[in-house]
Structure 1
């Protein structure tokens, strides 16, 4: 059966991860709570960095872009999953599936490059503090951020165009809670080996290349920190870098598990669990990690709360 005859006349079916048992209903409630924290936390980070002039530095500009990406990412998957559960309709249209793939893949790639840019920012700030304004200028910072968005979007367009060009003559049931490329490709009756190689090459570029930059940057950072004479300086540097490394470890570990394994022999259950970790849980943890471990963000938040209370009192 031709792909066009199937996909234009019928939708795909997202099997999801929850049924209507009491335990799974509880898990869905937990996911909604995590989504709410992620949505509020990332929105607050973006607004806080935008409103506080003292946070208008390359480091916090990069952090605001990470929060914006996480905000869009969590909104790409969770609302559709919840609507399907509550309405008991598991279908997703061709356009909806393509949209999910585009945003999901684009944001995955964009975050990979952005995390590498954040590692470079820390490298310059700690290893070359006197030259930081020159080596990490606003122009360079804007270029790195825009490049992250553009490269991620290019990857998203390529994967959407190729994945939705296959013939899907098998079951339309996708063993996932959103349209993920590996889960969708397993339904194709077309030979996808070439596409699998393309995905692997993309992963090398989008995952391993930024990881190499991060490892190189933090190797130099750690060597510089160990030579610092001030204990307070070492503590501050370690606190800043450890927050970023925690995010990198969670994000890259899960992404490599999903996209750098062969299509054959995959376990849908494991793929769904790991995908849920870095599409739902990680966007919630990122703002918490950075806000709880960063004095400047905490100070800006308390300042904003103080202004709000003062305005309420004056009213």
Structure 2
């Protein structure tokens, strides 16, 4: 572990991610043992949804196009954060030393993927709003070109935000030994190490939270209030049940995502406890992403049917058994 003078360290060559290095080794090994299966299950679940959305022609619709994109973003998101966090549990006490460029890259990718996911969830809400409230015009409105355009806009929006925030933070001089009291190079944990006036960066971070977290969630809730009114007016019980399940799944994921992210980032640095943030990060990095594929697959008959068709195609003997059941 490197050491720096605390007051005049202004151009670091590396940061040290402390993680849970101060905890007893036995507890850290136990956490690794518990969290590794969750990470593998999360990765497998998201890749399964992406694979089904690509492979099954019945899922080649705008809704599953965006769901496949969301799963791809979520898989990339966990790849950026979780492997390094898990490695940190097995390292000797003292933390992980990472180059400044590596820290900035991890922060940038995290913000880009997280921002894209926020915008993508809002886009999925728009898709469901148009499909349920304007079913006659939906095929003309949600074309393939528009789907790709919306996805590109989400990715570009997240990337621009990531570049802006990361550049704004890493142009500051740093002090306090470069010790990042977190499991990765998270924005608040790095920003708190900056020397001098960091008010502008704090305001930019809070403004980004407002634009990416609070505003989309409000719009989603308002649009789904209209969607629920329309669903209740649907004549057939089967159609009403299917539409409600689709909306409930997406609304559950949206509330989980925006709620956790808002609780983590929509607060000033002065009111933060980095130790508490570090503990909460175990939930939003490891548990919350695992719920997303579970919610979308367990409550979605289309995904279940696609999985059965793919499995039956690979094992033809199962087709007759599936028909009998």
- Report the TM-score, using the length of structure 1 for normalisation: 0.93
- Corresponding residue for 1:117? 123
| Number of the residue aligned with 2:5 | none
- The alpha-carbon deviation at position 20 of structure 1 amounts to 4.1
2:39 is matched with 35
Aligned to 1:53: 57
In structure 1, the partner of 2:18 is 15
Match 2:201 to one of 174, 195, 198: 195
Contact kept? 1:254, 1:275, Cα under 8 Å? no
Q: Once the two structures are superposed, what CA deviation does each residue of 1:61-92 show, in whole Å capped at 9, x if it has no partner?
A: 00011101110111111111222332335212
Q: CA deviation at 1:2?
A: 5.6
C-alpha distance in 2 between matches for 1:108 and 1:232: 35
1:247 aligned onto 2:260:
no
Count residues with an aligned counterpart: 308
SS in 1 for 2:305: helix
Q: How much has 1:288 moved relative to structure 2?
A: 1.1
Are the equivalent residues in 2 in contact too, given 1:120–1:213 (CA < 8 A)?
A: no
Match of 1:70 in 2: 74
Q: Which of 99, 114, 117 is residue 108 of structure 1 equivalent to? A: 114
Secondary structure in 1 aligned to 2:16? Answer: strand
Tell me what 1:272 maps to.
278
Q: Distance in 2 between matches of 1:16 and 1:160?
A: 21
**C-alpha deviations, 1:14-66, integer Å up to 9, x for none?**
11136344333222211111100011111111111111111111000000111
Once residues 48 and 311 of structure 1 are traced to their aligned partners in structure 2, the CA distance between those partners, rounded to angstroms, is 20
Structure 1 gaps of 5+ residues are: none
Q: Distance in 2 between matches of 1:224 and 1:66?
A: 26
Instruction: Look up the match of 1:3.
Output: 10
Question: Any stretches of 5+ residues in structure 2 without a counterpart?
Answer: 1-7, 319-325
Structure 2 residue 215 is the aligned partner of structure 1 residue 209: yes
Give SS of 1:12's match.
Answer: strand
Q: Is the 8 A contact 1:59 1:121 kept in 2?
A: yes
What secondary structure does 1:3 align onto? coil
Contact 2:43 2:78 in 1 (8 A): yes
